Structure formats: C-alpha cells, structure tokens
Amino acid sequence: MQQRYVGNSGFRVSSLSLGTMSWAQETDEQEAAALLHAFVDGGGTVIDTAASYAQGQAEAMLGSMLGDVVARSEVVLSTKAGASSSESRRSINASRGAMLAALDASLARLGTDYIDIWFAHEWDPNVPLEETLSALELAQRTGRARYVGISNYNGWQTAKAAAIAGFTLVANQSEYSLLQRRPEDELVPAIEDAGLGLMAWAPLGRGVLSGKYRGQIPTDSRAAQGRLTAYVERYLDPQASRVVEAVAMAARGLGRSPLDVSLSWLLSRPGVSTAIVGPRNAVQLKELLDAQLGVLPAEISRALEDVS
C-alpha cells in the first residue's frame, strides 16, 4: 500500500486508514482482530479511533491487540478527544482540562505511552480556541502525542487554528467523498494554504458508493440497523443515486469495482493524505485491499465531478 506524507510535514501514513467506529458495537473482538491483522499484513499502517467510539471501548479493544495481534511499532495510532456520545445525545467539551484528561484515559486504554497523531475531535464554540490548542501543544511537548491535528473544523476554523497555534498542526479530519464535496469550497483551500493534510472520513459516502444500496437496503447493512439508519439515509436520495450509477458505469468500463473508482478519485484530490475506511468484516476489507487505487483517466474523473 502506498505511503504518503501528510501536508508539508514528515509524517507518513498509508493511503488507506482503518477506522474503528464500529468496533465493540457492530464489530466484535474476533472480527476486529482479523481486520487489524489483515490490514497491517496488506501494508496499512494507520488505525483511526476516538475516545468517544463506543464510549472508549473501541480504544480498549484496539489496545488489547497491540503486542499480540500486531506490534505497536507496526501501526500509526490516530485518536481524538473532545467529544462524547451516548444513545441519546452527543456533547462537545474541548477545554484544556477535559482534553488532557481524555488523552490520559486514551493512553491507558490503548496501553501505550504515546499517540502518533492526536486530534481535537470537533470545534467547541463554548471554549476559546487558544485553550483547546494549548492542550494539543502540551500533549506534543510532553511526548504523549508525536503529531497533532484538528477534526471536523470547517475552512475558517482551520485557517484560524493554523494561524494562532504557534506550533505545527499537520492534519484535519473531515468527511469527503463524491457524495460530500463541500470541503472543496473552503476547507481544502484552507488546508493547502496552511500546509495541512486532509484525512478523509466516510470516503465511500458512508458505504453508499460501494454500490451495495443500489435498488435495495441489505439486511446486514448500517442503513438497516436502527442505531445507524440516519447515518446512511442522507445519501440514499435520488441525487446520490445518480452519482452511484455514474460510478458503477465508470467501474464497468474500467474493469474495476465502484469502491475502487470512488477511492481512486478521492485519493487523487488536492490535499488528501489518506482515506479512512471502516470495514466491518473480512469480506469488506478484502475488497478494499484488492482495490488498485490507481489514477483514473482524466475524462472519467471529469464525468464523475460533473455528475456529483
């Protein structure tokens, strides 16, 4: 798997990152261990998680596998702090105290003394940005985080954070795909101007760009599960369907899968360092690892951009 630099930094990541949002929920420990082993064996390095995923259980599950399923030195750990989720609500607290307490808890759950890249999970309108950034700076200065970044910040928020930080932010995590191109308006220009890299989450349009929802909702899919139905539904409208059909047509013409075409398009976009994918089982991961992830013909890329 290709290794790519993040922005203007010396931080290197694999072109695909393994997301763990489903771990300890839809993905059990046995499945997660198989995913982790196969991903690293396939050349992947970045494992992306967050303190809020399954209320910390995803981190704990990953931590239990480091040194057993894979060596700590083989992976790049990416985690986030400042957000928490429950069945009924989501809350944001990016204060210095909350961030640093969450970092120490993450380190304990992961069973490591440093995070490769640590993110402020979301913008907190109730906390001064300088305070949030001070937590990132202290984590880096004390060696608890090798690199730091921001997540789900829009264009002006990213530009402001980079301008006042006084230290190097290397990345922003944001949703980006052929079904979600809003980052191109302001976020991507802001990221490029500041020298950051974009780590794109939901690069397959929350699974819709894989083509599995064409004409049906599979019973084992996220859209069929009550907890995650709303997560997928926004991309099951007629406009999204037109994009999916265009991707499927391009895939047939190229002899590649819709998944491959979608990810190849994304990884060729300005500023994108890695695509964070979230396979829930070995079959889904195999399709990802089998993807060519090669540059698309220019006319195909233009057609996909036009329809999307």
Q: Where along the chain do its domains lie?
A: 3-204+271-293
In contact, 24 and 61? CB cutoff 8 Å: yes
- Residue 180 CA to residue 176 CA, distance in Å, equals 5
- β-strand pairing of 272-277 with 16-19: parallel
- β-strand pairing of 12-14 with 272-277: unpaired
In contact, 178 and 304? CB cutoff 8 Å: yes
pLDDT at position 169 is 98
Diameter of the chain by CA atoms?
A: 54
Q: Chunk the chain into consecutive blocks of 10 residues (it has 308) and report each block's average pLDDT, rounded to whole numbers.
A: 96 98 94 98 98 96 97 98 79 97 98 98 98 98 98 98 97 98 98 98 96 74 63 88 97 97 98 96 95 96 97
- β-strand pairing of 90-92 with 83-85: antiparallel
Is 147 assigned a catalytic role? no
- β-strand pairing of 145-151 with 46-48: unpaired
Sign of the C-alpha dihedral computed for residues 74, 76, 82 and 88 taken in this order:
negative
Which residues have C-beta within 8 Å of that of residue 132, sequence separation ≥ 6?
Answer: 82, 94, 95, 96, 99, 120, 124
State the SS3 of the chain: CCEEECCCCCCEEECEEEECCCECCCECHHHHHHHHHHHHHCCCCEEECCCCHHHHHHHHHHHHHECCCECHHHCEEEEEECEEECCCCEEECCCHHHHHHHHHHHHHHHCCCCEEEEEECCCCCCCCHHHHHHHHHHHHHCCCEEEEEEECCCHHHHHHHHHHCCCCCCEEEEECECCECHHHCCHHHHHHHHCCEEEEECCCCCCHHHCCCCCCCCCCCHHHCCCCHHHHHCCCCHHHHHHHHHHHHHHHHHCCCHHHHHHHHHHCCCCEEEEEECCCCHHHHHHHHHCCCCCCCHHHHHHHHHHC
**Architecture in CATH of 3-204+271-293:** Alpha-Beta Barrel (3.20)
In contact, 113 and 139? CB cutoff 8 Å: no
- Residue 6 CA to residue 2 CA, distance in Å, equals 13
- Residue 201 CA to residue 257 CA, distance in Å, equals 20
Name the catalytic one among 5, 53, 114, 153.
Answer: 53
Q: How far is CA 122 from CA 30, 74, 116, 154, 237, in A?
A: 31, 28, 19, 10, 27
Q: Write down the pTM of the prediction.
A: 0.94
- Residue 122 CA to residue 80 CA, distance in Å, equals 9
Residue that is written with structure tokens 């907890």 in the block: 227
Identity (one letter) of the amino acid at 76? Answer: V
